[in-house]
Structure 1
Amino acid sequence: MAYQQQGVRGEYWSDRTSMMYYKYVDFLVGAFASNAKSMIDVGTANTRYIESFNWIPERYSLDIKNPYSSDTVQGIEMDFLKFEPTRKFDFVTCLQVLEHIPDVQEFARKLLQISDKVLISVPYLWPVGSDKEHVHDPIDLEKVNSWMGKEPSYYIIVEEPLRIPEKKMNKRLICYYQNKPVNFGEALKQAKTFRGMNMIESNTINENVNLINLEEKLQVLINNQKDTTEILRLELQVMRLRDKISDQAIKNENRYNEISKLENELEELERKRKAVKKQKRFYKKSYDKVISSTSWKITYPLRRFVDIIKGKK
């Protein structure tokens, strides 16, 4: 099972990187762990998705056998139920693990003990026997609530496209827990910010890769004393590409500033809309109060008389 197996084959991770639920996990970590300084992934099974969260300086992966590790991620090889950290982590992930754990309630509630922010995922309503290493199928939200001892602060069911629906092995339940109430507006804002930064970073990386490739080609031509015209052509391409990278960086900065400005304007318009709505309710309440007042009813004959006089004029 994911928590007990000795790592995973290389194809396992490459086969799973395109899955929709990983995209949701990336989005939710960006939303809820934007200020995290430390993070641990429990039951990592030697998969390297924790590398995606490179703004978090302290990252750990824990598994009973062969946890993932790198220059930026520290692997911890031990039984999670015996793990006793000296301090809480800012964020914890435990993805596709709980369905494998016999003592699942103890395991699940320990996740909540080592952090105030926990993100888990499990197969959603997979039939019994669909995976020989699963010991709790079928799993739904009610079952997860019984394991965790509480309801999630947020949850979502993610369906993988182009999986055979009849097998009922195409859905996953993602649950997020935190001690304080969730500010969904702020979380969404953080997620959008990280998504925008990733898009800018991806564009820049692609341009830099192209630049490096061209520079390598240029060096090969120089070393082999190739045609001078080809060397000059590649040098010109390198210069143009550098200018393109610079222009792209400026455009990205302008787009980010424009988005921030529009968001501020939207917040101001929403504030004004609420103020006008509140004022409208006040005027309506005042009007209704006057209409239903005794003085208004008593003066009705006089107001009627005045209306008749004005009509004659």
Structure 2
Amino acid sequence: MKKLLTVSFACMLLAVGCSNGDDQQANTDPSVNEDQEKQENNENESKDETNQETNEQEDNQATEEKNQDEEDQNEEGNDIETSNEDENKPSLTNEQAKEAAVQAETSLKKIVNSTEGDSFKMKGYETKEDIVKELTNVMSQNLAQSLTDAFFVMRDGTLYLEPKGGPLWFEKGVDFKLKHPSDKEYVIVQEQNNEMSGNVVMHYTLKYNGENWVLDQMKSQRKKQKDVSKVTEEQAVELVRKQIGAQDESVKIEFDHMDGNRYVIHVYEVVEQENNTHTATKGWYYVDQDTGEVANMMN
């Protein structure tokens, strides 16, 4: 019996030894270790990438916030600068506006008169740019260029004046109104009436160039004439009736004929006798077709 127990115990020890041997063999398998290392490396790389993306997002957000702050500061600075510019613009009185418009005309006429005899060759100005440069002292760049192109031309390298009718300039002795539609401009409004242009309303726009108020635009608008209705024949008859105060139905007032632009109105009375009826003229009258004025032809 004792011998049997000894043999059984020895078998148990042998089994345990074999099991430990298998575990050691499994732990020392190189392929298993490599797989574990790769898995650990992949996990570490994934963590690094996640951390890097997070850092980049934080950096981008910080950069955007910084840029937004700079934009806000720039906009605020621009607003302040614009406000300062508006505050620095001097106001314009009627007399100053008038002077600015007159100076523009004077400057252009001075240049136009700088010609050599009847050849219209310009003296003292070699190119159009020379004229534009001088005109920009009293008018905007656009207006100076427009007037220069209209009245001057280069031929064979020489500058000439092209004689033609000029623009409708501000008239000194005529009343005008000065409007201020915005902080950037004033507008002179003046009604003019002459044989060449007829009845027009001129608009002279003045803008501030940083130093002075200068002429920027000249626009004309033809003034609408009021419709004047001519006196009709019936109205002419009624005007005469009112003029002489005729109320008796026996007094007849009739249109007879036209004399130029005047109606000739006959006023008469019907006289009845026993066996005869005739008319007795009481007067002849003119009625102006345009004005309605009544005049006695007998006077």
With normalisation by structure 2, the TM-score equals: 0.21
> Greater RCO between the two (CA within 8 Å, min separation 6)?
1
Q: By percentage of residues, which structure has more strand?
A: 2
With normalisation by structure 1, the TM-score equals: 0.20
Q: By percentage of residues, which structure has more helix?
A: 1
